[in-house]
Amino acid sequence: MNLSIRRFLPLAGAAALALSAASVTFATEIYATNGVAINGYDAVAYFTDHKPVKGSDKFATTYKGATFYFASATHRDAFASNPGRYAPQYGGYCAFGTAEGHKAPTEPQAFTIVDDKLYLNYNDDVAKTWRSDIGGYIKKANANWATVKAQPSP
For helices 124-131 and 134-149, angle between their N-to-C axes, nearest 10 degrees? 120
**Hey, what amino acid is at 82?**
N
At residue 143, does pLDDT exceed 80? yes
Question: For 18-22, 50-54, 86-90, which range has the lowest pLDDT when averaged over its residues?
Answer: 18-22
Give exposure, 96-120, as e/b (b: 16+ Cβ within 10 Å): bbbbeeebbbbbbebbbeeeebbbb
- Per-residue confidence (pLDDT) for residue 87, from 0 to 100: 98
Model confidence band, residue 17 (pLDDT cutoffs 50, 70, 90): very low
Convert the pLDDT of each residue in 41-62 to its tens digit: 999 999 999 999 999 999 999 9
pLDDT at residue 97 tops 90: yes
pLDDT of 23 > 90? The answer is no
pLDDT bracket for residue 80 (50, 70, 90): very high
